[in-house]
Chain A
């Protein structure tokens, strides 16, 4: 079969297609978004895929398909699971007929998320089997196992990659498609599909029995192996004292941390080899290491026993929660095993963020060293000093590069208009509630227009609460178009019904920008590229009873400010819909340029807007980067000297 270079998310998509998925749904969220996009790009026969309005809707659509016997896939990021947790919890009790795999991508770091929650732990709480791939190729193969297990146990399963699996890529050996089965359709069975307390009681017992069985049997991509940390060199003829000694130390890992452990062990061995070649090593005393790779939660207990039996100490390497660690500690208690488990509880594991090979080399040297200068000494042999490491004294200062709104971003104009309007309402305090999306970046100086950010849809409702506590201030709530459909409408209904005093500013850039430009209900096409009946934000606002709605082209800077002034002065629920497409979905306009003779170096444009295309030149005058500038003209509108105008067209090239 063919080999293909696949991103982890593409591998999950290919794995699902291979396994005969019939319905795939999801809501975009880094690092999960590319899975559904890859399915939609492939457009395999007999596969329906949709971006749903939010994760709850996505999970419920998939659940419907699965109870009709179809194989269903749902994708989301970890915080999306919070939104989908209501149907998910109950669906486990009800069960499914067709295999259902809920892919929830975790984000250790976090790199692009609000929380560092661990979906393996969520799975334990919600009583699901969880698959935890460590590489794209493993994810590819594992998806089929996940569908099979789901059908075997008659319940959905969770599939939890992390960012470094989703966004890493690898050459993957593609396997032949598995035979597809046509779904048999929904078969009425009130004792099965209608959840009642009695059914929940009965099925809870079944769920517990199933999990116990999986705790004895589930071995998918898990296993015990050995690694000889001692380097064999010609000098000692490939053997030395203690070579046959059984391992008394072990390392357990899962997910991408397993890859880091393997790499770190290889680095340790290499360094030890170098030390011994230099005659510095002691020439022995380094124990072989027993390894446990965990690919699922729960995993077969016998693997844990085989791993722990006879060990003095085991180091557990994992990101987010100590799930493997806790399961090994539990096993020691249950089976009377004497191994000491080292991990997060003993201060030997990270409490937040990602593992790295560099840190693990040190941790593993210290763990294996146990008095052996040979091993511990290898820590000091850092080979990353190169030329650069030694000369850091005079190193140049590094530019600070927080993520920012793109040059020409319509949100910049919206924030700026509201900021000017709030300033004009002299003396009155204004609070700017924010939400999740690119526009969270409006928090950065100099705009400084996002005072709160909690979770999808929360800005609109938090602003109402802020208003109850502080009625004399003006409360603005910014929300993006996709977020509005995801979970803003409920908050707007709440505002209208309860008579809140809030200025809702909807930033309609015509796409789900932060996650890479996915379509949403306000757009005239679906994930599969089919024409769609777009849901009008204006009509929704009108429909739920908002009386004061302004629709404004955000690039008309005077009108944008005028609308903000009106909203700032009004009371009750009022909505501004700022319309203007994301710069990443429309052709780039011609760049503007600064007329050097007219610019008085006042710095206003640079200081007020924070546009990446604008900077102060050496002479203090404004300069526009012709490659970045999209010609939105916001800087032109703030220049008091009319010094910004049409520039020369810049040659574009391949993207």
Chain B
């Protein structure tokens, strides 16, 4: 199956849906078919959410089967751990280390989860605090896309990605998002 699969995982409100739409638009600009699926509804209220993005030809299922994600973008370390078995052998796994504490009692050690994923699953860990400092609080999704794009993880190039961003993002925030994309790319070069 000649399909590029990207799984995006996070907590409701972190911008997984927008990230998926941007990837989808970029893949279409590159002439590929796109199929995917989102979490919408009750789970959006602070629950775990995933977006599946599949790019290629003759894609059957809207969901990526386990073990077949070429790229995982995880916006939160606990959510990264939750979806780790979607990663294909040799896949690109980007994890933001900034934990969001669950609203129910009992926190969890996000830093330890990120370290474990780095050691065991080859995850590349991105500092969430650095992203917030450089790009603002709402640009994590775009920064991770920038990092994965710089890693050559997507079946489209920078031009398609920039066009998709312009198409899907409020013009007011476009410059900020392009900056986030570039910051993400610079992160990848440091891995």
Measuring CB to CB, which residues of chain A are less than 8 angstroms from any residue of chain B?
3, 5, 7, 30-31, 111-112, 135, 164, 167-171, 256, 259-260, 262-263, 266-267, 270, 356-358, 361, 382-389, 391, 394-406, 438, 441, 444-446, 514-516, 606-607, 610-612, 615-616, 625, 627, 650-655
Contacts and interface: CB of A to CB of B under 8 A. Distances in A.
Contacts of A387: 87, 89, 120-122
B142 interface: yes
A135 B32 CA distance: 17
B121 A388 contact: yes
A343 to B, nearest CB: 20
A576 to B, nearest CB: 24
A616 B107 contact: yes
Contacts of A267: 65
- Max chain A CB contacts within 10 Å: which of B67, B81, B176? B67
B152 interface: no
A653 B138 CA distance: 5
A168 B51 CA distance: 9
B75 to A, nearest CB: 12
Interface of B: 1, 11-13, 15, 18, 21, 24-25, 28, 32-48, 60-63, 65-68, 78, 81-82, 84-89, 91, 99-109, 112-113, 116, 120-122, 132, 135-139, 142, 169-170, 172-173, 176-177, 180
Contact of B47 (A270, A402, A607): A402
A5 B45 CA distance: 25
A535 to B, nearest CB: 27
Contact of B60 (A262, A606, A611): A262
Given A263-B65, A386-B121, A401-B48, A30 B41 contact: yes
A244 to B, nearest CB: 26
17 contacts: A31-B41, A169-B35, A170-B33, A170-B35, A259-B61, A263-B60, A386-B91, A396-B78, A396-B108, A401-B46, A406-B45, A438-B45, A445-B104, A445-B105, A612-B100, A625-B100, A652-B138
Contacts of B102: 399-401
A404 B41 contact: no
A361 B132 CA distance: 42
Contacts of B13: 406
A168 B37 contact: yes
A382 B40 CA distance: 30
Nearest to B176: A654
Nearest to A265: B60
A562 to B, nearest CB: 28
A5 B25 contact: yes
A610 B169 CA distance: 33
B139 A654 contact: yes
Nearest to A516: B40
Contacts of B1: 266, 270
A257 to B, nearest CB: 10
B37 A169 contact: yes
Nearest to A655: B138
The 3 residue pairs across chains A and B that have the minimum distance between CB atoms: A384-B67, A653-B136, A654-B173
A384 B60 contact: no
A262 B3 CA distance: 14
A356 B37 CA distance: 13
B109 to A, nearest CB: 7
A30 B40 contact: yes
Nearest to B87: A386
B39 to A, nearest CB: 8
A390 B42 CA distance: 33
Given A266-B1, A384-B65, A401-B104, 8 more contacts: A112-B40, A170-B35, A385-B67, A398-B108, A406-B46, A444-B104, A445-B105, A653-B173
Contacts of B136: 651-654
Contacts of B88: 386
A654 B142 contact: yes
Contact of B81 (A168, A356, A395): A395
B34 A112 contact: no
Contacts of B45: 403-406, 438, 441, 514
B67 A386 contact: yes
A266 B81 CA distance: 28
Contacts of B61: 256, 259-260, 262-263, 357
A400 B48 CA distance: 9
A388 B85 contact: yes
Contacts of B44: 403
A401 B47 contact: yes
Contacts of B142: 654
Contacts of B169: 654
Nearest to A607: B105
A259 to B, nearest CB: 5
B24 A403 contact: no
A31 B48 CA distance: 17
A169 B34 CA distance: 8
A615 B107 contact: yes
A168 B24 CA distance: 12
B118 to A, nearest CB: 11
A169 B22 CA distance: 13
Nearest to A515: B41
A404 B101 CA distance: 12
Contact of A395 (B60, B86, B116, B135): B116
- Max chain A CB contacts within 10 Å: which of B1, B63, B91, B99? B63
B170 A654 contact: yes
A272 B61 CA distance: 20
Given A168-B62, A387-B121, A612-B103, A653 B34 contact: no
A384 B67 CA distance: 4
A264 to B, nearest CB: 8
A438 B44 CA distance: 11
A317 to B, nearest CB: 12
- Max chain B CB contacts within 10 Å: which of A5, A401, A402, A616? A401
Contacts of B62: 135, 164, 168-170, 256, 259
Nearest to A654: B173
B150 to A, nearest CB: 20
A643 B88 CA distance: 49
Nearest to B175: A654
A118 B48 CA distance: 26
A31 B89 CA distance: 34
A3 to B, nearest CB: 7
Nearest to A514: B42
Contacts of A652: 136-138
Given A170-B62, A260-B61, A651-B137, A400 B104 contact: yes
A407 to B, nearest CB: 9
Nearest to B11: A401
Contacts of A388: 84-85, 87, 120-121
A267 B64 CA distance: 12
